[in-house]
């Protein structure tokens, strides 16, 4: 069943506390949308809502972390990373605090809320920070796993969560390491490396291409920092050409991280698909199609790259 990655947030925090972890959450007036509200209902003394004050959210979370707790923050991605970037940099990262930045509603699949609410720069903002780990899960099960990894690994994390329900890729109970990339479909002609919502679209494109005799490998690059270098290099080496696809700016995102790695350790042609400007209002499906980030567009780009 299709479920949004944001649905994993509140539910997983509840399970973590049930299991004995000292977890708290701080939100900025968006508890219903981020699902931290469900966590607050289960554990009222473990949720702090600071109102529309994202900088304060990071300050409160940092203070709670200094008392020995593991603290998660909510909000929408555009506000939960952008409005409080300096506080994340100078308080969370510089002091290596156990604060996990987990906003929801990232990317253009936020939909009708439009450009102001569609975070397309957040991965770049977070991956540049010293000590920050960046995870972009592709479905509900991997979002649960990413939140668990963040909760059980000391130090700052950014977990990018979305609004749109996504197809199931992993089974319930799926687990992963901090540095995680996974070949979800074997191939040899080209490696399509995707993250988040684009993994499902890459798989659908690969199925379409297979009918035409094109054997595309699909790699879920969930961990953008640190990269799973071994998996990425092995796939690039086998296929000889890489196409990266992300619901984020091509500048500083997953595609940039992969290109940086391969330019140094496995030079192959790398083409990046993603956003180059702001989004606009529309349904998630309409926007992915309009900006050339759905399965049909991915398949078309592969044909172009392979001269088919």
Q: What whole-number distance in Å separates Cα of residue 98 and Cα of residue 292?
A: 38
Within 10 Å of residue 167's Cβ, how many Cβ atoms?
16
Distance CA 273, CA 276 (A): 9
For residues 253 and 244, give the distance between their C-alpha atoms in angstroms, rounded to a whole number: 10
In DSSP notation, 262-288 reads HHHHS---EEEEEESS---SS-HHHHH
b/e 128-156 (16+ beta carbons within 10 angstroms → b): ebeebbbbbbbbbbbbbbbbbbbbeeebb
Nearest C-alpha neighbor of 273 from the set 183, 163, 192, 153? 192
Question: What CA–CA distance (Å, rounded) separates 125 from 93?
Answer: 13
Element spanning 236, H or E:
helix 229-239
Q: How many CA atoms lie within 13 A of 109 on its CB side?
A: 26
Is residue 266 a contact partner of residue 240, using CB atoms and an 8 Å limit? Answer: no
Please state the separation of Cα 181 from the chain's center in Å.
Answer: 12
Active site residue 54: yes
271 forms beta bridges with 243
Which is the catalytic residue, given 11, 19, 54, 217? 54
Alpha-carbon span 23 to 68, nearest angstrom = 10
Catalytically active residues are 54
């Amino acid at each position: 069943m299709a479920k949004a990655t944001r649905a994993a947030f509140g539910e997983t925090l509840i399970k973590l506390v049930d299991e004995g972890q000292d977890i708290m959450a701080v939100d900025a007036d968006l508890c219903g949308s981020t699902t931290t509200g469900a966590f607050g209902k289960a554990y009222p003394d473990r949720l702090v809502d600071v109102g529309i004050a994202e900088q304060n959210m990071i300050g409160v979370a940092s203070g709670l972390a200094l008392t020995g707790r593991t603290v998660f923050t909510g909000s929408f991605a555009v506000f939960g990373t952008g409005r409080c970037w300096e506080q994340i940099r100078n308080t969370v990262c510089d002091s290596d605090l156990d604060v996990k930045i987990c906003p929801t509603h990232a990317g253009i699949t936020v939909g009708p809320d439009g450009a102001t609410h569609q975070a397309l720069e957040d991965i770049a903002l977070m991956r540049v920070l010293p000590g920050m780990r960046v995870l972009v899960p592709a479905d509900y099960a991997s979002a649960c796993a990413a939140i668990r990894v963040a909760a059980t690994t000391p130090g700052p994390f950014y977990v990018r969560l979305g609004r749109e329900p996504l197809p199931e890729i992993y089974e319930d109970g799926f687990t992963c390491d901090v540095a995680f990339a996974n070949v979800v479909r074997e191939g040899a002609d080209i490696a399509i490396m995707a993250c988040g919502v684009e993994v499902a679209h890459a798989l659908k494109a690969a199925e379409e291409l297979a009918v035409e005799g094109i054997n595309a490998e699909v790699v879920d690059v969930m961990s953008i920092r640190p990269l799973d270098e071994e998996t990425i290099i092995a796939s690039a080496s086998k296929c000889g050409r890489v196409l990266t696809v992300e619901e984020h700016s091509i500048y500083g995102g997953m595609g940039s991280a992969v290109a940086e790695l391969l330019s140094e350790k496995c030079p192959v042609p790398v083409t990046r698909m993603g956003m180059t400007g702001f989004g606009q209002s529309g349904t998630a499906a309409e926007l992915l199609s309009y900006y050339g980030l759905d399965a049909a567009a991915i398949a078309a780009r592969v044909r172009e790259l392979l001269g088919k």
